[in-house]
């Protein structure tokens, strides 16, 4: 049962795309199991950079089958645009298929995402405005349309008309907006999208199981991250799906016993984009330096990310939540110029030392980080390819993270390029 999960241990943008691309060379199949085009995964090969959102990060390997699983929400316009961009870059995309059970993002989902954020005012979540939350909400309400509905125009229109009547009433009465008509949506989704997508629509659960039964290597690629998880993240400042390892079971249709490796991707410092608590956030020139050197601006939205010191309380919790077998520490190179580096080892909550993630939102908002300070290394590490080639202080830093979180470190990132990776 050679199934591997790659997921984020923080608030996203840890470098999941990079690791997935590296490991995909040894895989037969890469499957996305949740999220949608709110993800932005970057793959750097030589001088070339590729950015994928819905397409799994195994796409650069023509022999690897790339599967968008049932747990993903698919904006088909974005997906087709992404495929066209990849093809224009000379990347074959005939190895990409989409689950017929994945839910569709429709134009009113995008509109409602924007309007609802505006309605929240100061309490806004800072979503990616792509309709992710509204599409998952409709899935839970059981009024979502699925990719398979594109195959049957009569059923598509019937389902659409039922739900659209309700959406149009909300848009008109609450937001004073005109909803798109059923004809407009059908023209786009049935007239243009369905013919383009049809050859790629599959029974993804069967496909995954056939691969596993044949002893093939299957990788499940997480989007977003542990602390953006709908159940386990910093609710309500989370996304609307389950990026944690457990999400693979529902979002790809496998039982937990298939999974034998869960790799947590963890940035050597911490970033977050959008609202929500962030105990180790920096508001000084050290934080600005991390953002500038790390190019911490959203891949999709261009938003400036927030940055702070590494948080071991979070990593320990991520180890528990995901049964992490090992971790990939990325962007170690960004810490290189620093004289000393702080790591949060516990929180102080109302004078009490807390070593585990507080379950109560108010405690997390009050949490003051307790730091240990480690020496920096002050030298460029971009050319290191083995542990021995890293300066002792850089080596000690990553091993400290692994030891204190009780998890093995398998890889260290020393630059964005595929090869700028140290395997331990
Ligand atoms: P993902 O969403 O988890 O796939 O991560 P993103 O692609 O959104 O953000 C990670 C960014 O860091 C991308 O621009 C990567 O090219 C870059 N990156 C990944 N690993 C490293 C690394 O080890 N060092 C540096 N300097 N950049 C890295
Ligand atoms: P990858 O896969 C970082 C954040 C948004 C917002 C919250 C909810 O590239 O790591 P949503 O649009 O999902 O309803 O927004 O989640 N968010 C991400 N932050 N990386 C991502 O994906 C994210 N996907 C969503 O900024 O705070
Ligand atoms: Mg990203």
Q: Is the CB of 234 under 6 A from ligand 2?
A: no
Q: Which of 416, 419, 421, 422 to mutate to test the pocket of ligand 1 (most atoms within 8 A of CB)?
A: 416
Mean pLDDT of 347-366: 96
pTM: 0.97
Check whether 21 has a pLDDT greater than 80.
yes
pLDDT tens digit string along 101-154?
999 999 999 999 999 999 999 999 999 999 999 999 999 999 999 999 999 999
Residue 183 C-alpha to ligand 2 middle, in angstroms? Answer: 32
Q: Is the CB of 239 under 6 A from ligand 2?
A: yes
For residue 307, give every residue at least 6 positions away whose Cβ sits within 8 Å of its Cβ, in sequence order, or none: 269, 270, 271, 281, 282, 287, 290, 291, 294, 296
**Can you give the pLDDT at residue 336?**
98
Helix, strand and coil percent figures for the chain, each rounded to 5: 40, 20, 40
Q: Is the CB of 128 under 6 A from ligand 2?
A: yes
258 is catalytic: no
Nearest atom of ligand 1 to the alpha carbon of 268: 23
Check whether 20 has a pLDDT greater than 60.
yes
Per-residue confidence at 302, pLDDT binned at 50, 70, 90?
confident
- What is d(CA 104, CA 199) in angstroms, rounded to the nearest whole number? 17
Ligand nearest to the CA of 305: 2
Check whether 89 has a pLDDT greater than 70.
yes
396 is catalytic: no
Q: Is the CB of 144 under 6 A from ligand 1?
A: no
The residue assigned the tokens 């030298």 is 379
CA distances from 384 to 54, 77, 389 (A): 32, 41, 5
Q: Which of 41, 61, 109, 317 is catalytic?
A: 41
Residue 14 C-alpha to ligand 1 middle, in angstroms? Answer: 6
Mean pLDDT of 390-415: 98
The DSSP string of 33-95 is -S--TT--EEEEETTEEEEESSS-TTTT-TTSEEEE-TTSEE-HHHHHHHHHHHHHTT---TT
Q: Which of 38, 52, 56, 120 to mutate to test the pocket of ligand 2 (most atoms within 8 A of CB)?
A: 38
For residue 417, give every residue at least 6 positions away whose Cβ sits within 8 Å of its Cβ, in sequence order, or none: 44, 45, 46
pLDDT tens digit string along 178-201?
999 999 999 999 999 999 999 999
**Can you give the pLDDT at residue 298?**
82
Q: Is the CB of 414 under 6 A from ligand 1?
A: yes
Nearest CA owner, ligand 2 atom 6: 127
Nearest atom of ligand 1 to the alpha carbon of 413: 23
Nearest atom of ligand 1 to the alpha carbon of 225: 3
- What is d(CA 274, CA 279) in angstroms, rounded to the nearest whole number? 15
Residue 52 C-alpha to ligand 2 middle, in angstroms? Answer: 14
Ligand nearest to the CA of 15: 1
């Amino acid at each position: 049962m050679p199934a591997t999960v790659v997921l984020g241990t923080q608030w996203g943008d840890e470098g999941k795309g990079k690791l997935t691309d590296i490991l995909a060379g040894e895989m037969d199949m890469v499957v996305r199991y949740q999220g949608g085009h709110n993800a932005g995964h970057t793959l750097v090969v030589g001088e070339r950079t590729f950015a994928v959102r819905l397409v799994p990060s195994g796409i650069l390997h023509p022999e690897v089958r790339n599967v968008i699983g049932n747990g993903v929400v698919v904006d088909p316009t974005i997906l087709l645009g992404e495929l066209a961009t990849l093809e224009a870059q000379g990347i074959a995309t005939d190895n990409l298929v989409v689950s017929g059970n994945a839910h569709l993002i429709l134009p009113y989902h995008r509109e409602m995402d924007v309007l609802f954020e505006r309605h929240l005012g100061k309490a806004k979540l800072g979503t990616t405005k792509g309709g992710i939350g509204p599409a998952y909400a409709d899935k839970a309400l059981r009024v979502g349309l699925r990719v398979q509905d594109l195959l049957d125009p009569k059923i598509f229109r019937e389902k659409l008309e039922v739900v659209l009547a309700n959406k149009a009433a909300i848009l008109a009465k609450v937001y004073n907006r005109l909803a798109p008509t059923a004809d407009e949506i059908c023209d786009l989704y049935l007239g243009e999208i369905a013919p383009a997508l049809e050859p790629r629509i599959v029974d993804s659960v069967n496909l995954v199981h056939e691969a596993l039964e044949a002893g093939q290597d299957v990788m499940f690629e997480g989007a977003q991250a542990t602390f953006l998880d709908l159940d386990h993240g910093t609710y309500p400042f989370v996304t609307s799906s389950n990026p944690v390892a457990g999400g693979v079971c529902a979002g790809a249709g496998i039982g937990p016993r298939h999974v034998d490796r869960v790799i947590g991707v963890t940035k050597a410092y911490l970033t977050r984009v959008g609202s929500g608590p962030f105990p180790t956030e920096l508001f000084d020139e050290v934080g600005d330096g991390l953002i500038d050197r790390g190019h911490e601006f959203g891949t999709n939205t261009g938003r400036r990310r927030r940055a702070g010191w590494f948080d071991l309380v979070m990593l320990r919790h991520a180890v528990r939540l995901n049964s992490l077998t090992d971790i990939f520490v990325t962007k170690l190179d960004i810490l290189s110029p620093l004289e000393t580096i702080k790591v949060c080892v516990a929180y102080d909550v109302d004078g009490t030392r807390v070593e585990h993630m507080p379950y109560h939102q108010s405690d997390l908002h009050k949490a003051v980080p307790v730091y240990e300070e480690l020496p920096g290394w002050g030298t460029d590490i971009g050319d290191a390819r083995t542990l021995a080639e890293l300066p002792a202080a850089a080596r000690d830093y990553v091993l400290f993270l692994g030891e204190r979180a009780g998890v093995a470190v398998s890889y260290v990132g020393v630059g964005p390029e595929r090869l700028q990776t140290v395997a331990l």
